[in-house]
Amino acid sequence: MAKKQISKSKHKNMQRWKKYKVEGGKAIPLGRFCPRCGPGYFLAEHKNRVTCGKCGYSEIKRSE
Ligand SMILES: [Zn+2]
């Protein structure tokens, strides 16, 4: 009997790739990077603000 491993924790990693759009074989970032941490660290989108999960930077979104 082969052991079947079901990993539910992989879901979180998958979300990172939602932030990229693949176009012509290139990954284009869709979100904004953290101005403190630099490229590679996306700001997490919230209802009315964006935050960085690494350094805690946050920015209020302007509603137009
Ligand atoms: Zn940051």
pLDDT of residue 31: 83
pLDDT of residue 21: 87
Ligand 1 midpoint to CA 1 (Å): 46
Query: What is the value of pTM for the model shown?
Result: 0.55
Ligand 1 midpoint to CA 33 (Å): 8
Q: Collect residues with CB below 5 Å from ion ligand 1.
A: 34, 36-37, 52, 54-55, 57
Ligand 1 midpoint to CA 35 (Å): 7
Contact in structure between 39 and 31 (CB atoms under 8 Å)? no
Q: What is the pLDDT of residues 7-23, one digit of tens each?
A: 666 555 555 456 788 99
Confidence of residue 59 (pLDDT cuts 50, 70, 90): very high
**Mean pLDDT (whole number) for 21-30:** 88
Tally of CB atoms within 10 A around 52: 19
The domain spans of the chain are 32-64
pLDDT of residue 7: 64
Contact in structure between 55 and 37 (CB atoms under 8 Å)? yes
